[in-house]
A and B are shown apart, each in its own frame.
Chain A
Amino acid sequence: MYVKFNEQNMAKEVLGFLPPGENLADWTVCDDALMVARRIIKDGDTIRAATDAECDAELATLRVAAAANKMRWERDQMLVLSDSWVLPDRFAKFTSAKQAEITTFREALRNLPAQPGFPLEVTIPPAPMV
């Protein structure tokens, strides 16, 4: 079988044989028995099945990255939804207390990634009643 590896030396594509148009030089030829592996890694000159611990470590890293991505998107949505509050003509009509509340809320949103538990344990700031 034929394998392409990513920058972390982990298999990203695994084929039983090469389809027409593929360049053999782009692929690493591996033992067919590795097809059943949960993850294939290149360990120096050795190509082997990753251990469960190695798989789980990668999974944990990916989950954190995916959670961060999702959390940032949700944060961005909340910022977009509150953008109209800070348009000068509208903002000027709020009481100074409400203005402070809005400013604090949006600042807390922007600082969300700085929270110690980000992205898995995040405290979403309460939205002001407008």
Chain B
Amino acid sequence: MSKLVVDTIQRPGGAAVSFPIADGTAGQFLKTDAAGNLTFSNSYTFPDVPLPIIAQEGKGIVGSVSSFTDRQNSYSGGPQWTSSGPWTTYYNYAAHDDNNLIQFINMALGDGLPQGTSEWFIGDDDRGSGSRALMFAHGDRLGYKRDRLQWSNATSNGGHTFRIMPIRNNSTSAISVPFYARMSDYYSSGYEGCCMFVLTPNTSTYSTVTTVSSTRLAYSQSSGDTNGPQAFSGSHSIPAKTTVLVCLASTNSYQTTYRFKDTNYFYYLNTSYTFADANIVCDMRMLSSLYASNFNLPNTGTCNGTGILAPLWTKTATNFGDR
């Protein structure tokens, strides 16, 4: 076998480059120093950079993720959301509390049984809808009020809507923030109703959150006015440098055959986010994470005061950057 022995090669009119004397290790590439000297080097590995955030924070942009089910929670007769709920008995007016909270979160994120193996996606099974919708405020309201035509006539409520809005206090002291919401609050068989509640982590830094506590701000156990949503209000003290999740769980109001009213929105956002105050903002990292992250939460488990919901913060640190 013949071989060419040179220490430098050069194309006519080009620059001369010299080869290294020793061989490199397996998988290495030749790399130039731009002065004609080639050496063996490892391939470049891109660092694990945070994913793009959905919008810039502090520009008055306010968003939420939401999902809904078109099944009433007392509906039975198939592999779907029954009065037993995806895990155990689910009470929508107490979605903040055990044993309801993990079911609320899973359904809000688009799959009420994320570790399930059946063909059914419990929670968001409305025909033609997608899961985990991202929604932004155009003014001082965030959400919707709409009439819905259901896949099947139900004689009481026709399902629930779930919404999560992340809000952050960037100041160095706690700030009490008012929240206003309108929700359809149908209450027929004792499992429905509606509520507004807040999830608060035990520490301010995403990556160090180990437990999450839940506080209900307002709720209804009333069939209410089937033609008009009820107004709900409550305030919460957001700890310094901390992001909390403000959640709405509502029940569609039965109108007539196949027709329901579904109201689920925040209003008076200008009082929650006093837009002149840069300290209170909608957390865009958390919003991006709530929309995109695979939290891989369990199907079951008591969440209030435990670590089950900590991944909502720690995954945000991993995927979108810690703070």
Contacts and interface: CB of A to CB of B under 8 A. Distances in A.
A13 B234 contact: no
Interface string A65-94: 111011011000000000000000000000
B274 interface: no
Contact of A16 (B190, B217, B222): B217
B189 interface: yes
B221 A16 contact: no
Interface residues of A, number: 30
A38 B94 contact: yes
Interface residues of B, number: 28
A58 interface: yes
B284 to A, nearest CB: 26
Interface stretch (B8-16, B50-58, B120-128, B225-233): B225-233
A30 interface: no
Contact of B180 (A6, A10, A11, A19): A19
B230 A35 contact: no
B230 A62 contact: no
A59 interface: yes
B190 A12 contact: no
Interface string A108-122: 000000000000000
A127 interface: no
Contacts of B94: 38
Contacts of A63: 74, 189-190
7 contacts: A14-B219, A16-B217, A16-B233, A36-B216, A63-B189, A66-B74, A70-B155
A17 B222 contact: no
B103 interface: no
A59 B222 contact: no
User: What are the 3 tightest A-B residue pairs by CB atom distance, in nearest-first order?
Assistant: A16-B234, A12-B222, A66-B189
Contacts of B156: 66, 69-70
A128 B319 CA distance: 62
A129 B85 CA distance: 37
Interface of A: 4, 6, 10-22, 35-36, 38-39, 58-59, 62-63, 65-67, 69-70, 72-73
A15 B235 CA distance: 10
B233 A17 contact: yes
Given A62-B188, A63-B190, A66-B189, A6 B233 contact: no
Main secondary structure of the interface of A (DSSP, over half): mixed
A63 B82 CA distance: 13
B285 to A, nearest CB: 27
Interface in B140-189: 153, 155-156, 178, 180, 185, 187-189
A74 to B, nearest CB: 9
A62 B220 contact: no
Contacts of B217: 16, 35
B75 to A, nearest CB: 9
A18 B233 contact: yes
B248 interface: no
Nearest to B219: A14
Nearest to B76: A70
A69 B186 CA distance: 15
> Of residues A17, A20, A59, A66, which shows the largest number of chain B Cβ atoms within 10 Å of its Cβ?
A66
